[in-house]
Every structure is written in structure tokens, then in C-alpha cells.
Amino acid sequence: MQPFDLLGPLPAPRSTTVLEASAGTGKTFALAGLVTRYLAEGRATLDQMLLVTFSRSATQELRERVRAQIVQAVRAFDDRSVVGDNQVVQHLLTGTDEELEERKTRLRDALAGFDAATIATTHQFCNLVLKSLGVAGDSDAGVELVESLDDLVAEIVDDLYLAHFGRDRDDPQLPYPEALELAREVVNNPAAQLRPAEPDPDSRAAVCLRFVSDVVRELETRKRRCGILGYDDLLT
């Protein structure tokens, strides 16, 4: 493993660089610096870059930090006093007058089109890709991405629980609280395989399997009817 030098040669095109970093080691600063260098040195334009992180708050912070880094670099070309201890900006200010002018122009162009930069969460990026497929994607135009399907699942469980057990004279084999918990567990883990696959028809396992299978089918129907998608729909 080699130490990463933010001011060293940029990774070669079509290469892969993996950085190992723990919390608080300056990952966001490094990303903002790399983006600024790639732009200023003409190695890439903003529309050719993809920055993906995990949460919306982290995405917002990354967007703000990248923009602030570019703004500081642009200002530094005209006023060296704003550089401070920013080594990335100091690095960009070394070179011929022609090189500096080209770097400033590239960064100004990037700022002008910064709103179009793809800085997103994993799910947001998947949603962008899905929409870009148009009719080739298995989704309806105009669908809305929702953060949680819990309310819809609870509504479906209410309806199906009544349909499954409403006429039972005895206490159902699957109590309502367990039915709701089981349904949410299955919906939140779409790749999970339900076992046993072929339980005894009169067993409690068979009752549970029939119920959650109906919940999953009804959920797909209602999502399409309501024009919504959950995050897991973007990854499957």
C-alpha cells in the first residue's frame, strides 16, 4: 500500500485507485481537491464526473465543499492573499502565465455549470440512470421516489389481514403485530428467500408464507397504481 499524495500525479485515465481512510481523515477535503485539480488541469470536465456518497446530508456537504474549493481557487488566481494554507490551491498557482490563465478559465466554466454536477447518493444516482433508460427501463414515466414504504405496507397488511383472518372464529395463527413485523421484514429484505419453500399446508409456516407472499404482490400492484418507487426498486 502506498500513501496517497493529493498534490502528486493524478491517476491515469481508465485506471482505478482505491483509498483506505477512516473517519475524520479528510476524505471530503481530498475529494474536493481532486475535483478541483481535474477541472483546472484539463483532465476532465464537470459533466464527466460522478461523485457518489451514502446519505443526503453527506451529499450536500460534499457539494458545498467542492464548490467552495473551486471558488477559492478562482479567486486565488486574481488575489493570492486568499490562498491561506490550502495546498491544492497553492499547487494550482504554480506554472506559466498561460497555464494559470487556462486553469482559471476552466474553473470559471465549471462554476457556471456547477448546478448540473452529478453529486448524489447511491439511490439518487440509480434513479437518474433508471430515468435515463426511458422506455427501456422497467418503470413508468413520472414515478416518484419515496424514502419509506412503511405506511403503504401497513395499509396493505391491514387490508390483507382482514381478508385472510377476518372470518376466523378462533385466534389467528398469525397475530396482527407479528404479521406487520413479518411483512416489513420481508419488504425491507427483497433478496431474502422465504423458508420453508413448501411447508405443510396446515402449518403456521404455510400461513405466514401465504400472507407475506400476498403482501409482496399487493405492494407491487399499489406502487404502480400510486406511481411510486422505493429505494430497493432502483437496485433490482
pLDDT 10s digits, 18-73: 888 887 888 899 999 999 999 999 999 999 999 998 888 889 999 999 999 999 99
Question: How confident is the model at residue 218, as a pLDDT?
Answer: 97
pLDDT for 91 equals: 95
Rg over CA atoms, the chain:
26
Q: What percent of the chain has pLDDT over 90?
A: 58
| Highest mean pLDDT out of 125-134, 202-211, 223-232 | 202-211
Does 27-134 carry CATH code 3.40.50.300? yes
Number of H helices, E strands in the chain: 8, 4
Contact 49, 37 (CB under 8 A): no
Q: Characterize 92-111 residue by residue with b for buried, 16 or more Cβ atoms within 10 angstroms of its Cβ, and e for exposed.
A: bbeeeeeebeebbebbeebb
Please report which confidence band the pLDDT of residue 4 belongs to, taking 50, 70 and 90 as the band edges. Answer: confident
What is the rounded CA–CA span in Å between residue 203 and residue 124? 42
Question: Which residues fall within 8 angstroms of residue 34, CB to CB, at 6 or more apart?
Answer: 6, 10
Residue 186: predicted pLDDT:
95
How far, in Å, CA of 134 to CA of 72, rounded? 39
Domain boundaries defined on the chain: 27-134, 144-234
Q: Residue 153 and residue 183: Cα distance in Å, rounded?
A: 7
| pLDDT at residue number 123 | 79
pLDDT of residue 136: 59
pLDDT for the residue numbered 214: 97
Check residue 137 and give its pLDDT. Answer: 59
Distance CA 157, CA 66 (A): 45
pTM for the model stands at 0.65
What local confidence, expressed as pLDDT, does residue 135 receive? 57
Predicted confidence (pLDDT) per residue in 180-224, tens digit = 999 999 999 988 888 898 899 889 999 999 999 999 999 999 999
**Triad 144, 124, 228: Cα angle to 5°:** 15
What's residue 154's pLDDT?
96
pLDDT per residue over 159-168, tens digit each? 999 999 988 8
Distance between CA 195 and CA 171 in Å, rounded?
24
